[in-house]
Amino acid sequence: MQTAHELFLHELSDMLDGEEKLIQALGEHEQEASRPELKKAFASHRAQTQKQAQRLRQIFEDLGEQPKETDCKGIKGLIEEHEALKDEDPSPDLLDIGSVGGAIKVERYEISTYESLLQLARDMKHTDAVKLLSQNLKEEQETLRKMESFSKKLKPEQSGMEEIEEETTPSRRRAASGRRRRAA
C-alpha cells in the first residue's frame, strides 16, 4: 500500500463489512431486548445501518471501485463480546443493560472509524464521499447519545450487594458502611 486512496479503500471495505455484520447483530439485539423502547431503538438503528451500508456502496460506485473481501475484526470482536455475555445466561434486565453497553462500544468504534475516513476523504477532496460519510457519522453520534441515555435510565433489578453485606464480618461491614458514608 503506497497511496491514501488505497488506505481509504481498505478502511472503507472494512467498515462496509462491519456495517453488514451489525445489520445481523442488531436484528438479534432487537429479538433479545425485553424493554419495548429498547427493541424499538435497535430496530430503527438496524434500518439506519442498512442505509449506511448503502451509502458506503455508493462511495465505491462513485469512485469506480469495488469493495474488497475483508473481515472487520473490530466489529467482529465486539459482537463476540456480546456472545460471551449471553453465555453467562443473564437475566432479561441485565441482558438489556449489557446490550446497551455493547452498543455504546460499537458506536464509539464506528465514530472513530468514520472520523478517520472523513479526514482521508477531505484530504483527497472526495466531496461526494465527504457528504455520505458525514451522514453516517451524524447518525452514529445520535445513536451513541440515545444509547447513553438508555444506559442512565436502565436499572438492574438486583444489585447483588445485599447478600454480600450479610456475609461479610462485622469489621468489614463497618468498613463497607464507612465507604458508603464517604460516597454519600
Residue 160: CB minimum distance to Fe ion, A? 34
DSSP 3-state of 102: helix
Phi and psi, residue 168, nearest 5°: -75, 155
User: Segment near Fe ion (CB under 5 A), from 68-76, 109-117, 146-154, 166-174?
Assistant: 109-117
- By CB under 5 A, the count of residues binding Fe ion is 3
Query: 83, 147 in Cβ contact below 8 A?
Result: no
Provide CB contacts within 8 A for 167, sequence distance 6+: none
User: Segment near Fe ion (CB under 5 A), from 27-35, 77-85, 102-110, 125-133?
Assistant: 102-110
Q: How far apart are CA 178 and CA 181, in angstroms?
A: 5
Residue 109: CB minimum distance to Fe ion, A? 10
Query: 23, 49 in Cβ contact below 8 A?
Result: yes
Residue 151: CB minimum distance to Fe ion, A? 18
Q: Which three cell numbers stand for residue 179?
A: 465507604
When the beta carbons of 13 and 52 are compared against Fe ion, the nearer one is 52
User: Segment near Fe ion (CB under 5 A), from 35-43, 71-79, 86-94, 108-116?
Assistant: 108-116
Q: Is 113 near Fe ion (CB under 5 A)? A: no
User: Segment near Fe ion (CB under 5 A), from 30-38, 56-64, 92-100, 103-111?
Assistant: 103-111
Query: 116, 11 in Cβ contact below 8 A?
Result: yes
When the beta carbons of 13 and 49 are compared against Fe ion, the nearer one is 49
Query: 151, 104 in Cβ contact below 8 A?
Result: yes
When the beta carbons of 6 and 115 are compared against Fe ion, the nearer one is 115
What interhelical angle do 92-123 and 36-63 show, nearest 10?
Answer: 20
Binders in 10-69 for Fe ion, by CB under 5 A: 49, 52
Residues forming the site for Fe ion (CB under 5 A): 49, 52, 110
